[in-house]
Chain A
């Protein structure tokens, strides 16, 4: 049964968590932060494959941008070393800036794409950059089988 939610607020108040899907890291390119774009079967009925893949690919691009070793990272490193790393008290590292962009992107995706489908993406940084956690919600009224994992969103608490 398709569950429709108009926004994140509704999702929190009228839905209960049914399941969580974890998108694992893709290590084929080494230790850079990259997530698998393989579409999990649990989301088959909830979201279109292309939308999901787009989200993961965009996230991967963001992380690649953050971890890129190039002119800017050399400059940052040299400048930081010369100032005995005190410069990081004043300015943000490039990685932190990209993480903020990622956070905004995830929030935007949640609002526009995932919440209307009863899903919620958790920022990977909150899970140690190990997984992308996608929470699957069921409408409280319609679903009688709330899973025992019983994680509810923290909004009410």
Chain B
């Protein structure tokens, strides 16, 4: 069993597990933090951004000034933002049999894998994951495609040049493999390879392995996966949550509030919190705007997946009422949604207001416009809730900024205390986790509680590493046909333990093994034809059972006598006895663990003696 680690981002994993004869990819996360190195893509021409000075080397060489721009001491690439793909060289991705998706955030790299690596397998995900994942991808493609950028920078990627750049560009990994966004066509093709699954559905892979998604509670339709054969079990825990209530968020503000967010997920909770808060705070006149090309779909979809929601929300559907209160916000016109800032929105726009829009990296999407618009005023506030991006880095290209910034990450995933507790309950034989989790975060090196602690110590992985997992498989399932089972003769060896020898024909098909009764020995055809001796050469591959036990001499002699042997003499030796049949010139040495029959070439006699000896022994 081997684990290939293709992503270095702990919350956006992409691993490949080789287990028995199958190759399983666990999640397909896309590391979007790479986009933080790029300049934002403004929807409306921004004089500030277009007038940023070009960056030049210390010696004044300015050959990169077309590609790199400087803003408040940070250097950014002026090009279409690019993403850091999962490793594609570590393992031949065309051999991947299946991809298991655990939540909609962890499928964003799917089109890169399914469309460009020769992948021919199947992707498994739950229905909400696919639908919302599609919305996220649609939004991403839309954000990037509607702001075409003429130039694409590639000079800076040259290894010799990258060395000369300031941090963090200097340290960016594998910039040569960074790719621009996929197209909608690729998204559709990738999504068509997904097979929908339900929680607790058992899916057989080639008869060798069974995979099952279980609810993980992190996001709508998110799942942990159990990968098991009859004797081994792997649990893949990705983005789980034990939270059933949501943190309260307070918005108290005279100006405008900007919440950069994904179009699905935490936004539903934020809306629900605000819904409860707004009335009590007397802010019911403040409009809420949700701007995303997929805003409408996202709000509609959230209402139809009642079966995937927590119990509280489920029971609402039975009334029947929509599970999320944002339906009421929309009905009462408090929440309005628009595909973009162009069109209807510009007519309806009233301030002060609260705007939910993407993308949380602040590099593309409608959020760029609001940052440019509101950044200058200290009355306005931007609230970061998505923990995937460092908010300081996200804000860097907008500096200097007068706007207030609140960093209030809403991360409903498991924290370290919960993980430790979980591990204690589950008692796994081995734990594997990203290396970031095996040591305290660099910024808080004294926080020994911010790491995974378990016995035996967790094995850690990092990008582009291959882990050989210490799994020793010892058993495999096999079925015994009823006819064969009926013919078995078990005997009790020790109390509670019975044995039966099995001789059977092994059939293996689709990784399933079946034991059938041995074929009946062919009736010997009439003796005439079998003249040549070689025809009778026995097949030495027909094995005889092993023998065990010992021969009690006295009883053995009695048995011999009963069967007509006379003139029997018994001699004691150092290790046992010798039974002499003087008349037949035959000698039988009997010891604790062996019996040796020495006789003349009288086959009849030998076979008789053999069978008498076998009576006292057990066969295996």
A and B form one complex: no
